[in-house]
Structure 1
């Protein structure tokens, strides 16, 4: 039993020292999977920790601010702005020394919602407070510290609550491209 505890302590301490912390930020191009919707530009930014679990594999949890939403393709130019605190947990494979591929779940918590429209009034309580999606992406580090990232997050849950007898069917879809900086 002592050997097992000692072994776990050694593994835990080596993972603690092997972690890499960093920051990332960039452009979101988001839309809602619904008829009459166009993409809208937004911003994302936050921090991450990269934890190696094997030679070519790592887990990278992140905490990001995500500006999402969509523009509606109608004559009134309605716009939906959704701000989330997102927590993606990406499983990364290092295909090359500086290139990684990633996939994993993203858990998002609604911070703010605004619907700007001429003919429609939408209450911020009409949007769900939680959003779930699956992300696929890649990244390339030019130096040990600076890299570019790209990710697509496909929404799994609808963004709006049922209001009366009406349920707006639409899921967040976000393409992200940005820069990452690792503290080493």
Structure 2
């Protein structure tokens, strides 16, 4: 039920951006819409009982849509809606890995100066994510992730199999858009929210996990 509510809310927010953009024409041009897809290289960084997590990068993907709303010459606000897979490998051999699927709402401030026959892309902004599913996969079988904000002290063993639903962080992007509207870009994300559940009676600093990652993507504007 929560997943459906979030998906509906996300669609409404994106729809609001689109309707506002369609009804607003500025002297620097109208709003455009685009699609984007690419590869993620993700990790989970943090601490467990005072020890740094030693997870490894995991490959995932993202796909979604966005709008570019002009606010001044060469400057845009770019809201979007993405499906993105994140997580981490527990070791170098990929024997065990955490997979988390998110719906994300990035809102980037974008600078697009003309460079050659196309445009340079430079942007930054926040994102909000909502986990819609996840598993810990290993040779012994798959275990579905639990989504809880709190763990009883006697269930600390479930720490690596439990995450919070909501994530929040910052985006950075740099790329190039060709005159045929095809674009390539490098993306980076820094999670700012602890997605680990709070363990009752424990020091919060002993249990911290944040999403971090980077990737490459291809986009097209209509």
| TM-score, length of structure 2 as denominator length | 0.70
Contact 2:135 2:143 in 1 (8 A): no
- CA deviation after TM superposition for structure 1 residue 116, in Å: 2.4
Q: Structure 1 pair 19/36, CA: closer, same or farther in 2 (3 Å)? A: same
Aligned to 2:40: 28
Contact 2:56 2:92 in 1 (8 A): no
Q: Once superposed, which parts of structure 1, at least 4 consecutive aligned residues long, lie more than 6 Å away?
A: 119-122
Secondary structure of the 1:169 match is strand
Moved more, 68-77 or 97-106: 68-77
Match of 2:216 in 1: 177
- State how many pairs are aligned: 173
Q: CA deviation at 1:172?
A: 0.2
CA gap of 1:76–1:14, structure 2 versus 1, over 3 A, is closer
Residues 46 and 64, structure 1, Cα contact 8 Å, conserved in 2: yes
TM alignment of 1:134-173, pairs within 5 A? 134-165=170-201, 168-173=207-212
Decide whether aligned partners of structure 1 residues 55 and 70 sit closer, same or farther in structure 2, where only a CA change above 3 A counts: same
User: Please, what TM-score do these two structures have when normalized by structure 1?
Assistant: 0.84
| Candidates 100, 103, 113, aligned match of 2:134 | 113
CA separation of 1:81 and 1:52: change in aligned 2, threshold 3 A:
same
| Structure 2, unpaired ranges of 5+ | 1-19, 47-52, 148-161
Q: RMSD of the alignment, in Å?
A: 2.7
- Per the TM alignment, residue 173 of structure 1 is displaced from its structure 2 partner at its CA by 0.5
Q: Are 1:73 and 2:91 an aligned pair?
A: yes
Deviation at 1:127, TM superposition (A): 1.2
More moved, 138-147 vs 158-167? 158-167
